[in-house]
A and B are shown apart, each in its own frame.
Chain A
Amino acid sequence: AAGVIQSPRHLIKEKRETATLKCYPIPRHDTVYWYQQGPGQDPQFLISFYEKMQSDKGSIPDRFSAQQFSDYHSELNMSSLELGDSALYFCASSLGRRSYEQYFGPGTRLTVT
């Protein structure tokens, strides 16, 4: 079965650079979630989209922005990168924004040097 695809899988950036992470949800899934997991920490919710509209917002820095496109894929844009942004970034998708089951992708490991 098709799963959530994230690209790139690994990304190395320098401080103050920008990064774009992409997420391709499972076909027919209309809701996308972004989570950040720092080293040794638990995943933290950043933001979610349902039918291309922002659905919910968590502890996402103002330097980050995201959107969901007409084909339901989503991109997380990160600017003015800081060392503390180094983390695993997971995307999850679900069918409907009230779905009780989210399917997570393999994650993008971002390293800021």
Chain B
Amino acid sequence: DAKTTQPNSMESNEEEPVHLPCNHSTISGTDYIHWYRQLPSQGPEYVIHGLTSNVNNRMASLAIAEDRKSSTLILHRATLRDAAVYYCIRHAGGTSYGKLTFGQGTILTVHP
């Protein structure tokens, strides 16, 4: 299955920006990059996705490298409620449809 590589854990202080990196060096041209997060004791939650261009929404920004081999999820001002496991997922097209392949995510700790 498609692989991504993320740091096991990261820490941040409240109200500071957080940059969560993801490597996907074998990505194909039609693969989207998705980010989901899982808060404690909850189901995963969609954060953002992109293909080539940088993307912004109310939750976060996604910066995709020009060669698409890496991307960075940016939380502009971390809050305590952003403490979660963040998953970077390559979403293959073709017959994989909506199936999400979760790998090891990044545990984000936010300090007050």
Contact = CB atoms under 8 A, between A and B. Distances in A.
Contacts of A4: 43
Nearest to B49: A100
B44 A43 contact: yes
A44 interface: yes
B49 A50 contact: no
A103 B99 CA distance: 13
Given A100-B49, A106-B42, A106-B43, A42 B98 contact: no
Contacts of B101: 45
Contacts of B97: 48, 50, 55-56, 97-98
Using C-beta atoms within 8 Å of the partner chain, give the interface range for chain A: 20 to 34
Nearest to A31: B98
A90 B43 contact: yes
Interface residues of B, number: 23
Nearest to B47: A101
A58 interface: yes
Contact of A107 (B43, B87, B93, B100): B43
Contacts of A90: 43-44
B98 A94 contact: yes
A19 to B, nearest CB: 19
B49 A56 contact: no
Interface stretch (B10-18, B69-77, B102-110): B102-110
Nearest to A55: B97
Nearest to A32: B98
Contacts of B38: 43
Nearest to A104: B43
B47 to A, nearest CB: 10
A1 B32 CA distance: 27
6 contacts: A33-B98, A33-B100, A43-B100, A92-B43, A100-B32, A100-B98
Which 10 residue pairs are nearest across A and B when measured between Cβ atoms? A104-B43, A42-B102, A97-B97, A101-B46, A43-B102, A90-B43, A56-B99, A45-B99, A104-B44, A100-B49
